[in-house]
Structure 1
Amino acid sequence: MKKVLLFFLIVFVVIAALSLLTIFKGKLQLGEKVAVVRVSGIILDSTSVIEELKEYSNDRSVKAIVLRVDSPGGGVAPSQEIYEEILKIKEKKKVVVSMGSVAASGGYYISAPADVIVANAGTLTGSIGVIMEIPNVSGLMEKIGVETQVVKSGRHKDMASVFKSLTPEEKEILQTVLDDVHDQFIEAVSEARGMKYEVVKKLSDGRIFTGRMAKELGLVDELGNLEDAIILAGKLAGIKGEPEVVYKEKEFSFIDMLRGEIPNHLVGNVFSGISLKYLLTP
């Protein structure tokens, strides 16, 4: 009987020890990992990217972060928010950018503050500029016999209306706004890359560069693929040997479409008025 009790006691102790080990492993966050955060497609919102960055920033087992950028850019504000978050994370951990096929305009903006930027030789990057697109459907409305009545309290309140053409004065006002946002882009690259403002300004006329060209110009540090960027991040973080790589699986879901979120992004941009973009357009 004593032997049976002793056996069950040993089994209980082993199970309890394994359970405690599992719990404490999560809390202690053992290991030396490199996290990969992906930014793909047009940057419409920064929330999910920032949440993922913060999660890995607070994870003590993650020693460095690789930001995999495959984006032509997008909204100005979301790009700036991701940029600022990376600056905060750099105070705690190393951040390496790995550029995919395209990392242009806003895609380059969010890459600029990284400790090291790694691009493929054929990556399309650069496109440092700002674009504002305002559709004009006044001709169509006139053809189908629809007239828009506007009541406003400010002279320029309907400046970005799709139902009218811009006046010369309105174009001048909007150009002033674009010039200011463009200047913010140049300053951000200059500060993040340690380059003189005038040098960056000469490269900031919206043109694109290959990864190899960008390296020669100082916009990129190294040529290589994602694996090279991960190994480099591990070395910068002081990880010996090949680091363990962690990343979140992102699956395509029709839920967003059912909720109407994707159509709202597409249609909303047409009728939302002024929309500033750090975006590479075809």
Structure 2
Amino acid sequence: MIWPFKPRYRRQIARIEITGAIAGDTRKRVLEALKTVEERKFPALMLRIDSPGGTVGDSQEIYSALTRLGQKIKIVASFGNISASGGVYIGMGAHHIVANPGTITGSIGVILRGNNLERLLDKVGVSFKVIKSGPYKDILAFDRELTDPEKDILQSLIDTSYQQFVHTVATARQLSVETVKSFADGRIFTGEQALELGVVDRLGTEEDARRWTAELVGLDPEKAVCCTLGDSKKSLVQRVVGSQSQLDRLGLGNLSGSMDWLNFELETSGLPLWLYRP
């Protein structure tokens, strides 16, 4: 008798981490990892999300890739310390969601920020001469205040992005749009509250999520292992100084995160964000 043989990857669970703010580098890394999951024919994917969210477009691209992959394999999302705003949106691409009772989640909404340095520039005697093709070509310019018509344009953009978010949550979680809007006002809530609202399916740890994922595809939860794909890139500070442990020994433990946030702020200034930032 010839015993059926499953390729190695068919006996494993793929695992992808989404950590930190979601922007271009994260999108590229995750999309490449999702492609590998499909090519290697893993039976299931466990998505570990520990992110406050990020840019709208990058979050949407990851979500779209997850929904396509979800037509072929089972996907379970595990919310870590924080999975808010864009992190929630990405989680909607999973079939099931597990959160810790104390996970910080929610913050369903959109924010767009710009910088107005007009007063500072006046003090140092700096001004800009602008020639533009239309009245709104330099909208959100940092050297002047927004006009009322510009505020209306940006509010319309935010409202449209917000509606996209709400409809995605409503569809994924099989809730009415009105129900989602009742808690999609930017507030944050715990994993326990998210369960009551219908945003997540179960409370539990990442290990609980792994076991559930294995059961969903007929693997032994005691033996099924995870194969992590698309490891996070080191930050600029870590590449220069060394590992996080080395930074901690030097008393620079918070420097890496601060530099990452600064870089994110510079890259996304003027962009609509699905982001929770206290």
- Normalised to the residue count of structure 1, the TM-score between the two structures is 0.83
- The structural deviation recorded for 1:132 is 0.2
- The structural deviation recorded for 1:29 is 4.2
- The structural deviation recorded for 1:266 is 4.2
Equivalence for 1:277:
273
CA contact (8 A) 2:74 2:213 kept: yes
- The structural deviation recorded for 1:269 is 3.2
Q: Does 1:206 align with 2:186?
A: yes
Give me the whole-angstrom Cα distance separating, in 2, the residues matched to 1:205 and 1:30. Answer: 42
Written as runs of structure 1 = structure 2, the 5 A alignment for 1:3-152 is 28-29=7-8, 31-45=10-24, 46-60=27-41, 62-152=42-132
Q: Does 1:170 align with 2:166?
A: no
Between Structure 1 and Structure 2, how many residues are aligned? Answer: 251
CA contact (8 A) 1:67 1:98 kept: yes
Give me the whole-angstrom Cα distance separating, in 1, the residues matched to 2:57 and 2:184. Answer: 19
- The structural deviation recorded for 1:256 is 9.0
- The structural deviation recorded for 1:237 is 1.0
Give me the whole-angstrom Cα distance separating, in 2, the residues matched to 1:201 and 1:208. Answer: 13
Structure 2, unaligned stretches of length 5 or more? 241-258
Poorly superposed stretches of 4+, deviation over 2 Å: 27-31, 248-258, 261-270
- The structural deviation recorded for 1:281 is 1.7
- The structural deviation recorded for 1:194 is 1.2
**Percent pairwise identity:** 39
Equivalence for 2:159:
179
- The structural deviation recorded for 1:240 is 2.6
CA distance change for structure 1 residues 207 and 156 in 2, over 3 Å: closer, same or farther? same
- The structural deviation recorded for 1:180 is 0.4
CA distance change for structure 1 residues 257 and 30 in 2, over 3 Å: closer, same or farther? closer
CA contact (8 A) 2:55 2:268 kept: no
CA contact (8 A) 1:96 1:229 kept: yes
Q: Deviations over 1:159-192 (max 9, x none)?
A: 1111110011111111011000000000111111
Aligned residue for 1:245, secondary structure, equals strand
CA contact (8 A) 2:52 2:86 kept: yes
CA contact (8 A) 1:112 1:192 kept: yes
Give me the whole-angstrom Cα distance separating, in 1, the residues matched to 2:153 and 2:138. Answer: 13
* Equivalent residue in structure 2 for 1:191, among 157, 160, 171: 171
Equivalence for 2:216:
236
Give me the whole-angstrom Cα distance separating, in 2, the residues matched to 1:250 and 1:202. Answer: 35
Equivalence for 2:227:
246
Structure 1, unaligned stretches of length 5 or more? 1-24
Give me the whole-angstrom Cα distance separating, in 1, the residues matched to 2:267 and 2:111. Answer: 17
CA contact (8 A) 1:118 1:222 kept: yes
Give me the whole-angstrom Cα distance separating, in 1, the residues matched to 2:124 and 2:221. Answer: 69
Give me the whole-angstrom Cα distance separating, in 2, the residues matched to 1:81 and 1:42. Answer: 15
- Normalised to the residue count of structure 2, the TM-score between the two structures is 0.85
CA contact (8 A) 1:63 1:234 kept: no
Give me the whole-angstrom Cα distance separating, in 1, the residues matched to 2:200 and 2:18. Answer: 18
Aligned residue for 2:81, secondary structure, equals strand
Give me the whole-angstrom Cα distance separating, in 2, the residues matched to 1:253 and 1:183. Answer: 34
Give me the whole-angstrom Cα distance separating, in 1, the residues matched to 2:105 and 2:210. Answer: 20
Give me the whole-angstrom Cα distance separating, in 2, the residues matched to 1:69 and 1:208. Answer: 16
- The structural deviation recorded for 1:63 is 1.5
Equivalence for 2:248:
none
CA contact (8 A) 1:138 1:162 kept: yes
